[in-house]
Every structure is written in structure tokens, then in C-alpha cells.
A and B are shown apart, each in its own frame.
Chain A
Amino acid sequence: MEIDYRLERPLKLHARLQVQGLTVLLGESGSGKTSLLRALAGLLRARGRPFADLAPERRRVGYLPQGYALVPHMTALENVALPLHGPSGRRTAGRWLERVELKHLAERRPHELSGGERQRVALARALALEPRLLLLDEPTSALDAATRETAVELIERIVREEGLPTLLVTHDPYVAARSRSLAVLEAGRVRQQGPPDEVFSRPATLGIARLVGFANVFSGKVAGREEGGVWIETQGLRVFAPTAAPPKAGSRVHWGIRPEEVMIVRPDRPLSAPLARNRLEVRVRRLIKKGLVYVVRVAGALELEVALPRHVQDRLRLAEGDLIEVALKPAYVHLFSSGDASS
């Protein structure tokens, strides 16, 4: 489904994107993600395609707001049956509750359900509408880590089985990584859309890079070209970055590398030639444990953040103050287009 929507209020927004299967819309808070969903549901005035001139009652767009918006005095079954009619409606509602694995809680009221269960009731209710488009606003923000995983799995499975165009808004990279298509909202428009791998590894702008976890972003000057890429000079260090469209020598560019893709050179294992070119000596400044990874801040010619899986750290036994060598493998060095980088 192709969406092209323009909003004037509460903020100026022009969103063009493709919704195919589970499509995730990523954006900073305040970027207008929720407003776009509300406009698509017909609850905010907007111009565009599809259904912009239809009242919300006639759009058949399933909308799950963050608080799920269940009717508190109705049981789970009655909530799901809201868009349905007659006695056959209750049977259909029962089948939808079964689909979200909540048949046994059909007679409970919302306040007798957990957050994850409420969300599934709301999902079943939106599905009972047999929507043409499903909209989910931050479905994982109120859930704990374990519930989050099952919730995302369930949403993904049902959307796939129903072949339902679904737009899910989030700022959670974990959810974004599970999508079929990832769109990023920035400065009032969709700046990039593609498979999540592509967006995560090749963000189009600096802002998107930060949003998807590029902690290491630097500015530098193009110092020279070579087959397949350019040399960039940053704070006295020359780094090789691959690119198909090399910028002019002397122009300012931004480049970056994800913390997960900075490699630590082990002194006992010499590196092969392509890796050998982007190397620098750094000192370990800080070691922070974050779940199963260590975030290591190092400083030398550049200040870098390096993410280290626990099993690697268990072998290397790095300590604050150690002098080590890191390599920025050219394949992982990402050059941001200079026009976007200024934003």
C-alpha cells in the first residue's frame, strides 16, 4: 500500500512511504510518528492518499494507540465484538481471541488483565474489523523485556498470516530489526525506507545514523581517491571509506562506524592487507557493562565507542588504561552523503 499524507497540524509533515507486510516507522520522539498514525486513522485532519476524505467510521483502519483504549466496562470478548454485529459476531470475536491465545480470558474485564494481555485483546479487536491497514503505536513501550519479545513475535506472525499491511511506530531498534521494511521519519518527511539491514548499515543521514545506533560519527576532509573509495582525513588520521560516488577532493564529509563493527586487533594475530589500512592505537578509557555486552570507550587519534560481546571480553580481559589497537574495516566504514550530513 502506498501512503502519501500531508499534515499541517499539530506539525508540518509530508510522509510518503510503502506499507508492505510489517513496516516499521522509526523516528525521534516529537517527529510526528503518532500524528501520522492518527491522521491515517482519520482522527487528525490531513490531505493525501488513501482514504483521506473518509470519516474514521468508514475507513476500516485498525488503530491501536499506546494505551490500547479498551472499553473498561466490557469484557475482553465484548471488546473484540465491538466492530462486529449480531450473535455470529460473538463467535467471530471468540475466534479472534483464540488467534491471540486469550480464549480462556474472554470474560475478564480490562482491569483484570495484564498489559500484554490487554494489548492482545486490542489487537484481536482491531483484526475483527478486518482492516485494510493496521496501525500500531509503540506497542512494546509499556511491556517488560520478556513480554515484548512474545508480543512482537505474535504481531509479526499474525500480520504475515493475514497478509495485512501494517504500520508500526516505534523508537525501539529491536522491533525495527524485525520488520520487513523500515522507514525513518526525520524533519517532517520520510528520509529513508528499505529493508532494516540496509537502513541499519547504510543510514542516509547523520540523524538516522544516530537513531539506529551509530555512536561513532566524525567529520573529515576528502584527502584522495582510490579504486572503490576515498581517503578521508580526520584529526590527522587517514581512513579509507568505500563509496560508489566519491565526493570531490577537499570537500567536507561525515563518516561513521557502528560500535559493534569496530574490531580489536589481537597482537598475536596479524591482520590481512585490506584491514591493515584503517588501524589506530588507542587507550581504553572506560568499560561499561550493558547486559551481555561491554561498551568500551577508547581514545587515541579518535574517540570511539566499541561494543564487545561478553565472550570476547572474557578472552581479551581488557582493563581501563590498556593500550590496544583497533581496526576500522573499510566494509564497515560508512560515508554519509555530505548534503545530508550538514543537517
Chain B
Amino acid sequence: MTEAFLLSFKLASLTALTLLVLGIPLAYALVFKRVPARALVEAVLLMPLTLPPTVLGYYLLVLLAPDGALGRLGFDWAFRFEGIWLASVLFSLPFALTAYREAFQAVEPEVLEVTRTLGLGPFKRWVRVVLPWIWPGLLSGTLLAFAHTLGEFGVVLMVGGNLPGETRVASIYIFDLVQALEFEEAARAALIFVALSFVLVLAVRTLEVRWRSITGSNAR
């Protein structure tokens, strides 16, 4: 059980970190920059929200197979940790992106303009004005992505299969246990999930409340 949970944590942490690095510039661009065919770009990025996990998993599996389009380029990541990492990033992207975008949308462009007239260069504007303004939103988005990855099942199973230590994450481990009628062990694992989910969602909610108390009533 420990092995499965450790693998889940590793996957969720790496996924959340990747999304942080990838999502911030993406969200920033979507809010503040002119993006060509914005609606189209957003639709593609948010599609995993409505796509069945098995469908996303299926395409990734085909692409990442040794003779797949990506597999031939050296990314033969099917049934490997790298494969479920990529799948998790794509699958959780809409959650992180939505949270990040909301954080950036709260930043009033007028405030940034005025700080320019006060002599603050781009670096100072980011460090002193923007980051302290959006960090609760960034953290809550990252926690959401982490939690979402922990609970993911279909995509991981499709792309990674069920290899202990490589791709068998906790959610799949529980499925296995139930298949093997080992209900006692399954109950323990499930309980850990309940506790984890509760803590994570509580943290996200607390951050959101804090965030609104800072930014909420600055409206004219």
C-alpha cells in the first residue's frame, strides 16, 4: 500500500509542479495578451473536462506506443511513469488553468498602469504587486490539480496499465484490492483518501476565503 501511495504522491506533485510552470504563463497570456483564436485555444485546453478519461487515455496510448507518432520520436512512454505524468498534466490542466485565470482576472489593469506611472519597472511590478496579489489563487489551483491527480483513475489505467512501482497508483491499487476481494485493505486505503481529500479541499477553501478578504472589496 505504501508503494502505491508514494507513487500517487510522486505523480501528483510532479503534475502540480508542471502545471504551475506551464499554467502561469498560459493563464497570464489568456487574460492580459491578445491571443489569436482565443475561443478555439481555450476550448482545446478545457476539453479534458468533458472528454471521458478513457478517450483521452486511448489517444495518448496510441500516440505514445513504440510505433505511435510520439513513440517514434523517442517518447515511447506507454506503460511508463512518464506516460501517466503526461496524461495527468493534460487531464488536470483545465482545473489549474481555470483557477490561475481567475487569479489573474482579479488583478485590475488600472492598478498595474498606475504603478508604472509611479516608476516601478516590470520586475518590481511582478514581485511587489502581482505575485502577492495572486499567490493564494495560484496555490489553490495547484492544490486542486494535486488532488485531482491523486484521484485520477481512467486515464492512468489506459496509458499506464497496472505495473507495481511504475504505474500502479493508489486509486488503481484500491480497484485491484476490490477485484481480489481484499476488502479490509481496500477500506484502509479508501479511508486515507477520504482524509486526504478533506484536508486538500479545506485548504483550497481557506485560501479562497483569504484571497477574497484581500482583494474582494477593492471595487469602486
Contact = CB atoms under 8 A, between A and B. Distances in A.
B120 A70 contact: no
Contacts of A55: 116
A57 interface: yes
A73 B129 CA distance: 8
Interface residues of B, number: 22
Looking at A55, A73, A142, the one whose CB has the most chain B CB atoms below 10 A away is: A73
Interface in B102-122: 108, 110-111, 113-121
B115 A71 contact: yes
B111 A69 contact: yes
B215 interface: yes
Contacts of A62: 117
A339 B205 CA distance: 66
Contacts of A60: 119
Looking at A55, A70, A71, the one whose CB has the most chain B CB atoms below 10 A away is: A71
Contacts of A72: 111, 133, 214-215, 218
B132 interface: yes
A229 interface: no
B216 interface: yes
A71 B121 CA distance: 16
Contacts of B121: 57
Given A65-B110, A73-B133, A43 B215 contact: no
A59 B110 CA distance: 17
Contacts of B34: none
Contacts of B111: 69-72
A142 B118 contact: no
B217 interface: yes
Contacts of B113: 41, 43, 56, 65, 69
A217 interface: no
B220 interface: yes
Nearest to A63: B117
A270 B119 CA distance: 67
Looking at A57, A60, A111, the one whose CB has the most chain B CB atoms below 10 A away is: A57
B217 A57 contact: no
A129 interface: yes
Given A65-B110, A71-B129, A82-B115, A111 B218 contact: yes
Given A69-B108, A71-B129, A111-B216, A59 B117 contact: yes
Interface in A7-64: 41-43, 55-63
A337 interface: no
Contacts of A142: 220
Q: Is the interface of B mostly helix, strand, loop or mixed?
A: helix
Given A73-B214, A73-B215, A57 B120 contact: yes
A205 to B, nearest CB: 33
B110 A67 contact: yes
Interface residues of A, number: 31
A89 to B, nearest CB: 12
A110 interface: yes
Nearest to A110: B218
Contact of A66 (B115, B128, B220): B220
A83 interface: yes
Looking at A42, A58, A111, the one whose CB has the most chain B CB atoms below 10 A away is: A111
Contact of A73 (B110, B119, B132): B132
Given A71-B111, A73-B214, A43 B117 contact: yes
Contacts of A73: 132-133, 214-215
Nearest to B219: A67
B104 to A, nearest CB: 14
A163 B220 CA distance: 30
A65 to B, nearest CB: 5
Given A65-B110, A69-B110, A42 B216 contact: no
Interface string B81-109: 00000000000000000000000000010
Contacts of A95: none
A69 B111 CA distance: 5
Nearest to B109: A69
Interface string B138-163: 00000000000000000000000000
Interface string B179-220: 000000000000000000000000000000000001111101
Nearest to B108: A69
24 contacts: A41-B113, A41-B117, A43-B113, A43-B116, A43-B117, A55-B116, A56-B113, A56-B116, A60-B119, A61-B117, A63-B117, A68-B220, A69-B113, A72-B133, A73-B133, A73-B215, A82-B120, A83-B118, A83-B119, A111-B217, A111-B218, A129-B118, A129-B119, A142-B220
Given A43-B117, A83-B119, A115-B220, 16 more contacts: A56-B113, A57-B121, A59-B117, A60-B119, A65-B114, A66-B220, A67-B108, A67-B220, A70-B111, A71-B133, A72-B218, A73-B215, A82-B128, A83-B120, A109-B214, A111-B216
